[in-house]
Amino acid sequence: MAKPTEDAHVFQLKCPCCHALLWIDPTTEAVIESEKGKKKKGSLDELLIKEKKKKNEVDRRFVATAEMAKERQQKARERFEKALTELDQD
């Protein structure tokens, strides 16, 4: 098949979102050919920053979960002691 851009009436369009290339026939309004867009590769510095953010988020969640567990344990201990004092009073 010949390249679609060789035909005078076929035009090429680039998607602004995914950067895919589309060759469109204006008379039939059909996509004749398409080519996936190339993904932008980030730099090593960008990747390191992204991974550091992920690590910080995981650390933050871990600390929050540990705090919640301590609070639950403290509340359970308080309820247990309250139940014991009520039992002793009866």
* 21, 13 Cβ separation under 8 angstroms: yes
pLDDT of residue 16: 82
Rounded distance between C-alpha atoms, residue 27 and residue 22, angstroms: 15
Q: In what order do the strands lie in the sheet with 30-35?
A: 11-14, 21-25, 30-35
Query: How do residues 20-78 score in pLDDT, each as one tens digit?
Result: 888 988 888 888 888 887 776 778 888 999 999 999 999 999 999 999 999 999 999 99
Mean per-residue pLDDT for 1-12?
Answer: 62
pLDDT of residue 2: 43
Q: What is the separation of C-alpha 41 from the centre of its chain, rounded to a whole number of angstroms?
A: 17
pLDDT of residue 90: 73
The C-alpha angle with vertex 44 and arms to 38 and 53, in degrees rounded to 5, equals 105
Kindly report the pTM of this predicted structure.
0.45
